[in-house]
Structure 1
Amino acid sequence: MPEMPEVAGLVEFLRRKLVPDDGEPAVLSDVEIVSFSVLKTAGVPVESLRGLEVAAVERWGKFIAVQAGKFYLVIHLARAGWLRWSEEFKPGRLRPGKGVIALRVRCSTSAAPEAGFDVTEAGTKKSVAAYLVESLDQVPGVARLGPDALELDRDAFGAIIVGHRGQVKGLLRDQSVIAGIGNAYSDEILHAARLSPFTLVTSLDDEQVTTLYSSMQELLRSALEAASGRPAAELKDAKRRNMRVHGRAGESCPECGDTVREVSFADSALQYCPTCQTGGKPLADRRTSKFLK
């Protein structure tokens, strides 16, 4: 799932293409809804964007917002979505419901008159969402966003901790509490902070809160730096290369050499290092818990 650093990289990439510092802004020529499920709004017809100049490209949590005129095209890439840029699209509209493309945006830029981007989604579960609205508050996920993770200082983070009663991984992933962090970076942050993902927030002492905050800031800023300036096609690989435990079950922890383990759920999984995070004890996995002592 694209998280804050990758979405920020995509926003930076789109901004360079659509509203370049050294050229005229792109003009939107067409928006094609290829997957029937992708568009979540009906109040503003997609034809309203035709002929409008792009005014801005912004990130809100894990949402991408393209502003044109008084309208916003807001995209959430969900778990398996991505963005693919083309300098030249072939003429002709796509057939709805075919292939991985969910949405196509055609535009004319100073460098490429037939350019644009596709929003794609792998797999059969269709979760990518697009909203065409006049106000960002009309997008439910944006309206519910908590403060951006990188905009929090230590005191504000501590205040959030005081008001939360769940597990620490759930806290980090809750977009209404802290915006921008998902499954992957929460695994990485907790590994750096040497905390079990199932640690109750109410059990954290002041020193642990400070360590957790510092780990969050350092990891996200490092990931943002790694994503900055990269073309969209390279951002996924850059993310994978920098993961230390997430997605690395069965491999050696780079900190201590123990085997990275996994806990699976119905539709997701987390990874952690027992030595670094759980006192050497493996966490029960639903698929194998009967074998763990």
Structure 2
Amino acid sequence: MPESPEVEALVEDLGTRLAGREITGVDVVEFRAAKTRSRPPSSLRGERVRGAARRGKHVDLAVGDAQHLVVSLGRHGWARYGSSAADASAADAVADAPPTLVELTFDDGTVVEFTDAGDWVSLGCWVVDDPSEVPAVAKLGPDPADAGFARADFDRVVAGRRKQVKAVLQEQESLAGIGNAYSDEILHLAKISPVVHAAALTEAELDRLFDATVGMIRGATDRQRGVPIDQLKAAKVASMRVHGRAGEACPVCGDTVLDFSFASTTAQYCPTCQTGGEQLPLPAAE
């Protein structure tokens, strides 16, 4: 799942390439990706891009005088570049490349393809006058990547919550932009169990969790900035210390990183660093 550091790198790249460019073609390959049926993406043909911004895990392309194309990447969505509308992009020639659901062509020949690799359509596109018209954007909580994000913002949405702390970190209405991978990394850095309730955290643990949240997200954003968008996923995977590393040695203590069940997915943790040696429940066997 794309998270804020990778989406930030993507929108910065899109903004650099597309600002001032006219949209000359729009192809919605999968109709379910268009969420504003009365204002389809094709209505943006002939408009120029003013810039790009990130809204949590969403891409926001400012288009024309006062319109926005907001793209939710969902669980498996991403973007790639093609060379021209007439030519197949290099990615299309690669076996098992994710399918393109929405394609934008620009007046300089650039093609931006929004893809989705999932078994169900998670990518979504809205054409709106204000990004807050997209329900998920309107509900976003404070963003740890923002320079103005402060401890008071963190305490307001985390401290005292009777909910597992990993779930709080991933709850977009509480903290924007964090998903399964970075929540694992944050909790490992803070040396906190992913299943403890936020309300049970001591002041010292809240201090560590705040520092880890801000440090991890801002550090990852800095590292991903400037990485080509087709290499961002690999760069993210390579940077992980525990997420996706089950069976490997913890880089801090040397214990074995383990899997555990979380919601409808699998997450990772270090028992020595985070749970006092306790092993959390494993994913159910298929």
Shared fold per TM-score greater than 0.5: yes
Q: Secondary structure of 2:231's partner? A: helix
TM-score by length of 1: 0.89
For 2:208, the equivalent position in structure 1 comes to 211
Query: 2:261, 2:281 within 8 Å by CA — same for their partners in 1?
Result: no
Equivalent runs, 1:1-293 vs 2, <5 Å: 1-19=1-19, 25-69=20-64, 70-90=66-86, 100-108=99-107, 113-151=108-146, 152-265=149-262, 267-287=264-284
Q: Secondary structure of 2:166's partner? A: helix
Query: 1:145, 1:178 within 8 Å by CA — same for their partners in 2?
Result: yes
Unaligned runs of at least 5 residues, structure 2: 89-97
Cα distance, 1:182 vs. partner?
0.5
- Structure 1 pair 286/242, CA: closer, same or farther in 2 (3 Å)? closer
Residue 227 of structure 2 aligns with an amino acid whose one-letter code is R
Residue 76 of structure 1 aligns with an amino acid whose one-letter code is S
- Structure 1 pair 161/91, CA: closer, same or farther in 2 (3 Å)? closer
Q: CA RMSD in A?
A: 1.9
Moved more, 43-52 or 165-174: 43-52
- Structure 1 pair 163/71, CA: closer, same or farther in 2 (3 Å)? farther
Query: 1:258, 1:273 within 8 Å by CA — same for their partners in 2?
Result: yes
Q: Distance in 2 between matches of 1:74 and 1:156?
A: 26
Residue 86 of structure 2 aligns with an amino acid whose one-letter code is K
Q: Distance in 2 between matches of 1:275 and 1:179?
A: 29
Unaligned runs of at least 5 residues, structure 1: 20-24, 93-98, 289-293
Query: 2:165, 2:197 within 8 Å by CA — same for their partners in 1?
Result: yes
Query: 2:105, 2:112 within 8 Å by CA — same for their partners in 1?
Result: yes
Query: 2:159, 2:206 within 8 Å by CA — same for their partners in 1?
Result: no
Q: Distance in 2 between matches of 1:118 and 1:258?
A: 42
Query: 2:52, 2:62 within 8 Å by CA — same for their partners in 1?
Result: yes
User: What CA deviation, in whole Å up to 9, does each residue of 1:215-252 have, x standing for no partner?
Assistant: 11111111111111111111111101100000111111
Moved more, 279-288 or 54-63: 279-288
For 1:96, the equivalent position in structure 2 comes to none
Residue 14 of structure 1 aligns with an amino acid whose one-letter code is L
Q: Distance in 2 between matches of 1:206 and 1:141?
A: 31
